[in-house]
Amino acid sequence: MAKFFNQKVKKGRRKTKSNNNKVLLISIIAVVAVIIIGVLISVFFRNNHDDAIVKIRDVIAIEVNNENVDKNLFFEQLENVKEKDIKITYKNVDFSEIGTYDVVIKIYGKKYNSKIQIVDTEVPELVTKDVKINVGESYKASDFVKSCQDNSNKECIIDFYDLSLDQNGEKIDYRNYTKEGSYEILIVGSDASGNKTSPMKATLTIGKTSEVKPITCKYGNSEYDTTNILAVNVTKEGCALDLNLYNDENVLAPVNELIKSENEKIQKELSKINLGVKNIHVNSETTTVLNTTGKGVVGYTLKFTVSIEKNNNEEVIEEYYININGGREFITNKYFLSVSSFQL
């Protein structure tokens, strides 16, 4: 009896150990299952991209014939989205023609609508040449052009500069020289979008002589303090303009054209940048530059200041002068704007 009892007791112990092993195994399986379920849930929610934040701009502006569009321009806000997952359809866009086109953007199965505006804000590149003719022969503005190239790949429009004044403030007509001699000519090139170059000089020689007749400068020569950055030079043949004409409408015409075109360009450039503000202020300041004798007007400086309203404070983000070639000379350039500009 004692032997039998002992055997039963031993069998009971082996059964308890076996149960413990089963419990341990079940626990391990349960833990692994919980981990797998957690991973699957995480992957599921991640694949749904619920954390993606997408805010689309209504329209962006791109220069004509530029097909390398930065995808980021279309977004006011973009978070938790990989660039490779952004699909943009340009099938209805003609990058060679000015206009506004519809664009479809797909991100993680969702469709968004935007527009792309093809613009031309760049001036042509004009190179002039001198012209010689005989007395009695005619000439035209295009005769003075060596080359003119525009980003639209279309022909430039060539004209005589029509805002030139002599030292007395009288308009100069470059089309009507007939007498023997050499004359300074100013030529401008423009494109179909109205972008115009600065006046480019050339020399017209009529007859055999190349001698330039001496000119008396009534109001002094064109020398001035070169620390001033001239945007517009109103001197003619080395002579300054009558001081009394500094505020004359005709004298200021090229300055006002430059202000208008630069305002248009800066607004278009800033529209491509996500500033996160509604109000952008563009201010211009014109200063008259006199010659070294102080008796005549040489030209004008033109300073632009661009500011934004942010957190109830006004912040200057761009500040620069326009130089005589139409370029920008920056004091502040927070958003790395182009140094080139409209030229008139």
State which fold the 128-213 domain adopts: Immunoglobulin-like (2.60.40)
- Do the first three CATH levels of 53-119 and 128-213 match, i.e. the same topology? yes
Residues in the chain where the model's pLDDT stays below 50: 1-2, 4-6, 9, 342-344
Q: Distance of alpha carbon 24 from its chain centroid, rounded?
A: 69
pLDDT attached to residue 159: 97
Characterize the bridge pairing of strands 200-206 and 131-133.
Answer: parallel
Distance CA 139, CA 173 (A): 13
pLDDT attached to residue 344: 34
Domain ranges of the chain: 1-48, 53-119, 128-213, 219-344
pLDDT attached to residue 36: 83
3-state secondary structure the chain: CHHHHHHHHHHHHHHHHHHHHHHHHHHHHHHHHHHHHHHHHHHHHHHHCCCCEEEECCEEEEECCCCCCCHHHHEEEEECCCHHHEEEECCCCCCCCCEEEEEEEEECCEEEEEEEEEECCCCCEEEECCEEECCCCCCCHHHHEEEEECCCCCCCEEEECCCCECCCCCECCCCCCCCCEEEEEEEEEECCCCCECCCEEEEEEECCCCCCCCCCCCCCECCCCCCCCEEEECCECCECEEHHHCCCHHHHHHHHHHHHHHHHHHHHHHHCCCCCCCCEEEEEEEEEEECCCCCEEEEEEEEEEEEEEECCEEEEEEEEEECCCCCEEEEEECCCCCCCCCCC
Q: Which amino acid is at 189?
A: G
Characterize the bridge pairing of strands 59-63 and 110-119.
Answer: parallel
Task: Look at residues 36, 45, 112, 113 and name the one whose alpha carbon lies nearest to residue 80.
Answer: 45
Distance CA 213, CA 118 (A): 49
User: Which residues partner with 227 through β-bridges?
Assistant: none
Work out the end-to-end distance of the chain between its first and last CA atoms, rounded to an integer number of angstroms: 122
* CATH for 53-119 (3.30.930.20, 2.60.40.10, 3.40.190.100, 3.30.230.10): 2.60.40.10
Distance CA 231, CA 234 (A): 10
For the purposes of burial, counting CB atoms within 10 Å of the CB of 271, is it exposed (0-12), middle (13-18) or buried (19 or more)? middle
What is the greatest pairwise CA distance in the chain? 149
Tokens of 46: 């991640």
Task: Kindly report the pTM of this predicted structure.
Answer: 0.67
Residues in CB range of 197: below 8 A, 6 or more apart: 123, 124, 125, 126, 188, 189, 190, 326, 343, 344
Q: Which amino acid is at 30?
A: A
- 76-132 pLDDT, tens digit each: 888 888 888 899 989 889 999 999 999 999 999 899 999 999 988 888 999 999 999
Task: Look at residues 299, 298, 291, 302 and name the one whose alpha carbon lies nearest to residue 326.
Answer: 302
